[in-house]
Amino acid sequence: MATGTDDSRTCAVAECDRGPILQTDGRVDARAFAVPRNERSGFRVNWDDAGFATFHEHCWFDLIKSAREKDSRLTKTETEMVKEAVKTAEIHDSLDRLKREAEHIAHLIKNSKYCMAFTGAGISTAAGIGDFRGIHGRWTERDKKETYGAQGAKETPPRSVQNMTALRPTYTHEAIVKLLEKDYIKYVISQNTDGLHRLSGVGEGQISELHGNAFVEKCEKCNKRYVRNFWCGGKATNVPVNECKHCRINHRTGLVCDDQKCKGYLMNTIINFGDYLEEDVINSAEEHAAKSDLVLALGTTLQVSPANSLVESGQTPTRLVICNRQVTDYDQTCLELDEKGETLGSRVFGDCDKLMREVMRRILPEEERVKWEEERSVRILTYDTQRKL
């Protein structure tokens, strides 16, 4: 994939005459599949050897349109490449559009009576954790390997105890905490298990962690929970193994409850494939979602059920804001109009941190915002004391 200068990239469409892709421009990063160089003769796109390419946003959508036409100038192979690339293409809005939408989103937040944040893996990518359905996402790599074999995918390194405990909250995590403190956001529902919301300062009663928390374990007998400064793994062998009847994994961590009358075995809280969501957690999420009149869906493709339905279960009309890099089945909901012809929600493509920086500039007084942002280094030290490295 060709690149330009340090602050620009070259569009992969061979006949593009729009010039370099600047950092402030809208762009699309796409991944198809590998095709040998000697078979790429006559292609309209300069795909790299691994099947990656970057485009001006307009060039990308022109390419999709061309791939759908019967008399397309694309070869059969390149048409298939475009169709494959569409599945995981990552879109980044221009800076101008980002700022316009941030203004609108700030207005929505200020006028909301019960705003709720709904978060996914995309808010943690800036912390160094991989996502699931991005170009290099865990499920993307799995699907590529199943379809194209080892040549079509790269190994996804496992999430080790060390790299999990080294993660720190991102700008978006901290912005959510600040908006909770200012009473702009009332509640958080998260699909993430990385523990960064709680580490950033979100209180136990302010969040439903639908899929568990890697730094929280609970007692099998009395259900007492323990927030730890270390990663709470399962599969312990120093206590009797208890294979879960749903996911077939041993959730026990090797520790026991502190309550002398209980002494039950502790287990991690991670929800694996096949596990049921914890009833009290999903019930709390549903209760708060029903109250919401604005949902900020950040860093999620909204593909996991039943969690995704929560973003449309609030007050009517539905006001939904989505920020991530990929299209979702809920995008049209964001663009519905009210009786005045104004957009009820907002749809932003790109990185959550970039959007939230612009939103916070429009919500917090300048002096307060600058001071809060400058204090991040102090907060990082606090986070460090709460994690056992």
Domains, the chain, in order of start with CATH, read 8-86 (no CATH), 95-211+278-385 (3.40.50.1220), 213-276 (2.20.28.200)
Q: What is the pLDDT of residue 144?
A: 41
Question: So what's the pLDDT on residue 277?
Answer: 92
Whether residue 81 has pLDDT greater than 70: yes
Q: What is the mean pLDDT of the chain?
A: 90
How far apart CA 205 and CA 333 sit, in angstroms, is 29
In the residue annotation, 107 being an active-site residue is answered as no
The share of the chain scoring above pLDDT 70, in percent, equals: 89
Q: What is the pLDDT of residue 129?
A: 82
pLDDT band at 140 (very low <50, low <70, confident <90, very high): very low
Pairing of strands 294-298, 320-324: parallel
pLDDT at 8: 79
- The continuous run of DSSP H or E covering 282 comes out as helix 279-291
Catalytic one among 92, 211, 251, 288? 211
By percentage, how much of the chain surpasses pLDDT 90?
Answer: 79
User: Could you please report the per-residue DSSP string of 292-309?
Assistant: -SEEEEES----STTGGG
pTM over 0.85: yes
Mean pLDDT calculated for residue range 105-118:
98
Give dist(CA 272, CA 46) in Å, integer: 40
What is the mean pLDDT of the segment spanning 42-46?
94
> Which tens digits make up the pLDDT trace of 29-39?
999 999 999 99
Per-residue confidence at 3, pLDDT binned at 50, 70, 90?
Answer: very low
Please give the pLDDT value at position 132.
45
pLDDT, tens digit, 9 for 90 and up, residues 184-200: 999 999 999 999 999 99
The residue-averaged pLDDT of 381-389 equals: 87
Q: Kindly tell me if the per-residue pLDDT of 6 is higher than 60.
A: no
* pLDDT for the residue numbered 122: 94
Q: Does 154 score more than 70 pLDDT?
A: no
Q: Which residue has the higher pLDDT, 123 or 306?
A: 123
pLDDT band at 4 (very low <50, low <70, confident <90, very high): very low
State the Cα–Cα distance between residues 355 and 341, nearest whole angstrom: 24
With a cut of 90, say whether residue 77 has pLDDT above it.
yes
Q: How far apart are the first and last CA of the chain?
A: 37
What is the structure's pLDDT at 337?
A: 95
Which pLDDT value is given to residue 139? 39
Whether pLDDT at 114 is above 60: yes
- Return the pLDDT at 236: 87
Q: Given phi > 0 = left and psi -120 to 50 = alpha, else beta, which region is 51? A: left
pLDDT band at 7 (very low <50, low <70, confident <90, very high): low
Cβ neighbours, 10 Å, residue 146: 10
pLDDT of residue 131: 46
Q: Is residue 147 predicted with pLDDT exceeding 60?
A: no
b/e per residue, 244-268, with b = 16+ CB within 10 A? eeebebbbbbbbbbeeeeeebbbbb
The mean pLDDT of 311-340, rounded to a whole number, is 96
